[in-house]
Amino acid sequence: MPPPDPELALWFAQEVQPHEAALRGWMAARFPAVRDVDDLVQEAYSRLIRTRRTGSIACARAFLFVTARNLALNHLRHQQHERPAGVAEIDPSIVADERPGVPESLARAEDLQVLVRAIEALPERCRQVVTLRKIYGLSQKETAERLGITEPTVEAQGAIGLRKCIEYFRRQGYRLNL
């Protein structure tokens, strides 16, 4: 599904497509119950492209894995009408982009700075929760284990963090494009 814009198409070919095999392999291993992997991969691509059109992405591979994971979980919830437990973890080592190439963040990180600063400005606990959940793609459960706090606390701190980030975006005039 190459995007029409040539610059975007080149980026897609170089930064995104090389990860497809790894993504599919990981999806198959982690979500054997998901039948429509093709659909989910396409959907993850669309979201990635939409997001890239409206600003920078720190790491295409990580974004792709996190998005596909979230889509798969949603999909399973609908399939099973309940919350699947304990399948949300993403191994950070698989998300790390280990391919050759200059990370995009080095070239176009300017607009990411608002997001970074929003997180930096959070109170410590909120900041840790948001960092683990959003930058490392950890699930709520994994974040709780990692910080030695309960899941409801992670949820509450995450919500406070999110609310403060939104306030920060408003003060900075940062537009939410998605």
Partner 1 sequence: MNPKTTAATATRDAALWTLRCDRGLSASEQDELSQWLAGDPRHRDAFGEHRRGWDELDRLAGLQTSVQAVPDPDLLAPARNRRLRRFVPIALGLAAAVVLGLGFLRSRAVPDSGPATAAAALALIERRTLSDGSVLELNRGAVVTGRFTAQERRVALERGEAHFKVAHDAARPFMVEAGGVTVRAVGTAFTVQLDPTRVRVLVTEGKVRVDDSAKGQSLLGAAVDGEPPVLSAGQSAVVTLAPTAVSHIGKISATEIATQLAWQPRLLDFTDAPLAEIVGAFNRGNPVRLVLADAALGEMRLSATFRSDNVEGFVHLMESDFGLHAERTGDRQIVLRRAVRP
Mention every residue, 6+ apart, whose C-beta is less than 8 A from residue 105: 56, 58, 59, 112
Q: How far apart are CA 56 and CA 15, in angstroms?
A: 13
Binding to partner 1 (CB under 8 A) within 149-178 occurs at 155-156, 158-160, 162-163, 165-166, 169, 176-178
Nearer CB in complex with partner 1: 24/146: 146
Nearer CB in complex with partner 1: 35/117: 117
Greatest CA span in the chain, whole angstroms? 47
Least distance (Å) between residue 25 CB and partner 1: 9
Of 81, 86, 103, the closest CA to residue 138 belongs to 86
Of 21, 122, 94, the closest CA to residue 130 belongs to 122
The residue within the footprint of partner 1, chosen from 23, 41, 49, 95 (CB under 8 A), is 95
Least distance (Å) between residue 12 CB and partner 1: 16
176 in the Ramachandran plot: left (φ > 0), alpha (ψ -120 to 50) or beta?
Answer: beta
Nearer CB in complex with partner 1: 37/136: 136
Sign of CA dihedral 155, 51, 33, 19: negative
Does 16 engage in binding with partner 1 (CB under 8 A)? no
Does 8 engage in binding with partner 1 (CB under 8 A)? no
The residue within the footprint of partner 1, chosen from 83, 86, 171, 173 (CB under 8 A), is 83
Binding to partner 1 (CB under 8 A) within 34-73 occurs at 51, 55-59, 61-63, 65-67, 70, 73
**Long-range pairs, 150-157, Cβ under 8 A, ≥24:** 154/129, 157/125, 157/126, 157/129
Least distance (Å) between residue 162 CB and partner 1: 5
Q: How far apart are CA 13 and CA 19, in angstroms?
A: 10
Least distance (Å) between residue 7 CB and partner 1: 15
Taking CB under 8 A as the binding criterion, the range among 5-13, 36-44, 76-84 that sits at the site for partner 1 is 76-84
Least distance (Å) between residue 23 CB and partner 1: 13
